[in-house]
Structure 1
C-alpha cells in the first residue's frame, strides 16, 4: 500500500502544472516592450492595448520603452529573455529589413515566436505650414533642382518611413538627405523646430496637422485617409507605392504553444475593446489581425520581400 501511495504521489507531481504552463499562466505581471519613445502613436496605442489585455489575463501588462535602432531593440531584449511568455515586444516591419542592411545578432524568423498581428500605420510626408511647398509636386520639383539639399527626418535608419521615402525619391528621380532620429516624437519636434525640412512618419503628425502647424503633402495608403481626406495618396499622384507596415506582438523563440494561445486570445479580445478601437481611429490605423500561425507565415514572407527591396534600393551597408 505504501508503494502504491508513493507511486500515486509521483504521478501527480509529474502531471502537476509548473510556472509558464497555460493552466497557471500568467501568475505575475507581463512586460511588453515598445521599441519607440514614450508619447508617440505606437506607444499610446499599445499602452491602451496592454491595459485592455491585462483585464483578460488577470495580470498587469507593463509597457517598457526601448527606443532606438529603428525599432529593433525589442528583438534584442527578447533574445535575452526566457521563453516563458512574461516578456513580449511589439514587432515592427523594420525587424524584417534591418538584417538585410547590416549585420545583426538575430534572425527574425528563426529567433522569435509570433503571437498576434495587431495593426498598421498611416504614413505621410509632412512639412511646416510655412514651408514653400504647397503640394508634393512642389516639394519634388524643388528637390530635383537641388539634389541632397532637402532634408527629411524619420524615426531611424531602416525603418519603414526611411524605406518609403527612399522609394519615393527613386521613383521621382530625386535625391533627398535623410536625418534619422530615435523616434516619432523626436522627429516631429525636429521638423516643427526647423531642424529638418520635412518628416516622413506615421500619424503622430496628426494633431499638428489638425492644429495647422504642419502641412500633409501625401500619404502612403491605398486610399485617402478618413481623417485627412484632402491629402492625396502617392498612388493617385502616379507613384505605385502603398505601405501600411503591419505590426504585431511576439516573444522569444521556444514559447510553449499553450502560453502563446493564452496570450493570443487575451490580446485578440483586447484589440476589439472600445478604447483600443478609439485610439486606432485617432491615428487612422486599421485593425490588421493575424493569428499566431498566420503571423509566423507573414514573417517569413516579409523577410524575403524586404531583402528584395533593400537590394533594389542599394541600401545594404558595407560589411
Structure 2
C-alpha cells in the first residue's frame, strides 16, 4: 500500500491537530481515571525482530499520551498466535492489549484451538502491514523463483524452505505455489526472523520466506531477494519482481493491529485508540516503520473490526481451497 510523502505529511498533521481536543474529552469519559497503572502490550514474536522493534517504539510513544508506561511483553511461538490465550484470560479493563497478526485469523480453520479471534477480542486500531519476500543465500545457485521450483522438481521433498512458523502467511503462500505445480519440499519453521535469516545466509536451509526482517540481510549482501508479495515492486528493491507480476496471482501484506480482551468499554477503547493512533503517526514511529518498508494502514475500531471479520472469512475460504482445514 503505497503512500506518497505529501499524503503522509498530511495524515501526520491531521493526527496531530486531532489531539488538541480529543484527549481531555477521552480522559473525562474513562472510568476510574484510566489508566492508573501501566498497560501491557503482548507481542507474539521474539524480541529483536522487526515487529517487536516497531512495537516497542509504538508502545513508548503511546505511553506518553496515556500518562502511563506501555510495557511490551513477548510470547513467541505457534506462528504468532500465543497472545490469544492471554487475551482470553485477561480482564477487559484496558490494561492488556496485544498485536493480532494474520495467522491468528487462519489457525482456527487449520487446527482446533480454544479461542476465537473475533469472539474473544475487542478491536482497537489497525496499524500497518508487512513486506513478504523469498530470499536465498548470496552464494545460492537460485537466481529466480523458477530456479526454486526447478530444484524442487529435480529432487522431490529435498528442498528445504524456512518460514516464521506453521500456518503463517509465508508457509501458506509457499504451500499454494508448490501445490499448484505438484511439487513437495521440506518445511523448516523458525520462531524468530533473525535466527531464520542467519540459517539461510549460512546455508543451513536453502530458501527463506518471511517479512520485513530480511531487509538488513539483503542490503548488506548476505541474502538475495528473489520476489516480494506486494501489489507493486518496492522502492527499496526496484529490480525485484512481485508474485503478481510473475503471473502467480498472489498479493499478501497481512495487515495487523491491536486488540484487547472481549467486552472492553467504549470509553477505554477510545482512549487506547487515540493514544496508539497518535503514536502510529508520530515521526519517530514512521521512521522506524520505514526501516522495514512499512507504512500506516490505519483503521479505527469499527472499521478494523469489519476488516477482521472479512479477513477471517477469507482465511476460511483459502484454507478450504488448499485442503488445510482442520478435521472434525
The two structures, once aligned, show a CA RMSD in angstroms of 1.4
Give the Cα separation in 1 of the matches to 2:201 and 2:87.
34
Aligned length: 300
Q: CA deviation at 1:152?
A: 0.9
Q: How far does the alpha carbon of each residue in 1:39-85 deviate from its partner, in whole angstroms, 9 at most, with x for none?
A: 11100111111111111111111100100011111111111111000
Q: CA deviation at 1:172?
A: 4.3
Give the Cα separation in 2 of the matches to 1:299 and 1:73.
18
Q: How far does the alpha carbon of each residue in 1:232-258 deviate from its partner, in whole angstroms, 9 at most, with x for none?
A: 101111110000000000010000110
- Tell whether the 8 Å contact from 2:163 to 2:189 is kept in structure 1 after alignment: yes
The answer for unaligned runs of 5 or more in structure 2 is 1-28
Give the Cα separation in 2 of the matches to 1:271 and 1:75.
23
Aligned ranges for residues 266-305 of structure 1 at < 5 Å? 266-305=275-314
Query: What is aligned with 2:323?
Result: 314
Give the Cα separation in 2 of the matches to 1:237 and 1:24.
55
Give the Cα separation in 2 of the matches to 1:123 and 1:278.
19
Task: Indicate yes or no: 2:129 matched with 1:101.
Answer: no
Aligned ranges for residues 1-319 of structure 1 at < 5 Å? 21-22=30-31, 24-318=33-327
Q: CA deviation at 1:193?
A: 3.0
Give the Cα separation in 2 of the matches to 1:176 and 1:232.
23
Q: Normalising by structure 1, what TM-score?
A: 0.91
Give the Cα separation in 1 of the matches to 2:242 and 2:180.
15
Give the Cα separation in 1 of the matches to 2:185 and 2:235.
29
- Tell whether the 8 Å contact from 1:188 to 1:205 is kept in structure 2 after alignment: yes
Q: CA deviation at 1:179?
A: 1.1
- Tell whether the 8 Å contact from 1:115 to 1:264 is kept in structure 2 after alignment: yes
SS for the counterpart of 1:97 is: helix
